[in-house]
Amino acid sequence: MAREKPVSLSREALPESLFPDSSFSFRCHPGLACFNQCCLAPTVVLSPYDIWRLQDGLGISSGELLERYTLRHPEERSNLPLVFVDAFSSPKGCPFLTPGGCGVYPHRPGACRLFPVTMGSQLTPQGVVDHYFCRRLDYCQGFNDGPRWTLESWKADQNFAGEEQDRRAWFELILRQALAGPLPATPGAQDLFFTLAYDLDGLRRLLSEPSFLQAAGLEAAPETYLALDDPELLRFSCRYLKAALAGEGGGLPAVAQRIAAGPRGAGRPG
């Protein structure tokens, strides 16, 4: 995956946010002249849960999905890696786009399911607060037809509401690190975060290595972690990264250094 210029998730709350009782009309379908146009060059940030659903739907490993279909960029203020759909490697734009629409529709990322609603997250003393707004692209004809939706009914219809808590916990990692300052450029620290957060199969390989568990300060046997199903393993990873980024165990850079210094490099993230 190409590693290019930093991007930022740190934005002020938009002034025209949608509220739970806000309403709008929208319906996207192949009969619209603009159908598929919004997918030609999308900017789609993938959460760990998006990656898991995509790999499961496509029947491939997380490593293959990340290598074939995504780009990796450091987030500007936190220096933590973000993963984007690679919409620039082919003339058709999104690699999952077909003439008939989204080729991974049942497994599409949360940002795609939520469209035309978009969201931004803000860290407050009470925790992460999500802000929603309607993205009215000039060429989009979907607003000219269709039923009325509230924000909540749209999220429910698109099966988005159930994942909000997990996405919020992941965004909180990025936002808290952005406030604390960029992750030090210690060799291996970004790669370790990337593997633990996004590469589910790579995470399982690491957790099968006693040397990694020792370096990471994890006391249970490998079988304890490997028995977790995929969603629970992602939640465990998020909790572990939150603690490591907060400095537990010496912090993520220290964990990366211990892994690199381990016997024969065992447990080193790939």
- Give residue 266's pLDDT: 44
- Give residue 16's pLDDT: 55
DSSP 182: P
Residue 138: burial class (beta carbons within 10 Å; 0-12, 13-18, 19+): exposed
Q: Kindly tell me if the per-residue pLDDT of 224 is higher than 50.
A: yes
In angstroms, the CA 153 to CA 196 distance is 34
Nearest alpha carbon to residue 31 among 190, 144, 150, 187? 144
The pLDDT confidence band at residue 9, using thresholds 50, 70 and 90, is low
The pLDDT confidence band at residue 24, using thresholds 50, 70 and 90, is very high
More confident residue, 145 or 43: 43
- Give residue 18's pLDDT: 87
* pLDDT tens per residue, range 71-120: 999 999 999 999 999 988 777 789 999 989 999 999 999 999 999 999 88
Nearest alpha carbon to residue 80 among 201, 202, 178, 203? 178
Q: Kindly tell me if the per-residue pLDDT of 167 is higher than 90.
A: no
Highest mean pLDDT among 128-137, 155-164, 248-257: 248-257
In angstroms, the CA 101 to CA 97 distance is 6
- Give residue 165's pLDDT: 83
What percent of the chain is predicted at pLDDT more than 90? 65
Read off the pLDDT of each residue in 110-139 and give the average, rounded to a whole number. Answer: 88
Lowest mean pLDDT among 158-172, 176-190, 200-214: 158-172
Nearest alpha carbon to residue 196 among 168, 237, 236, 226? 237
* Straight-line distance from the first to the last Cα atom of the chain, in angstroms, rounded to the nearest whole number: 13
* pLDDT tens per residue, range 46-80: 999 999 999 999 999 999 999 999 999 999 999 99
Are 244 and 192 in contact by the 8 Å Cβ rule? The answer is: no
- Give residue 6's pLDDT: 54
Q: Kindly tell me if the per-residue pLDDT of 177 is higher than 50.
A: yes
In angstroms, the CA 111 to CA 175 distance is 18
| pTM, to two decimals | 0.88
In angstroms, the CA 129 to CA 133 distance is 13
Read off the pLDDT of each residue in 210-225 and give the average, rounded to a whole number. Answer: 94
Residue entry with tokens 């790999």 = 55
- Give residue 10's pLDDT: 53
DSSP 3-state of 187: coil
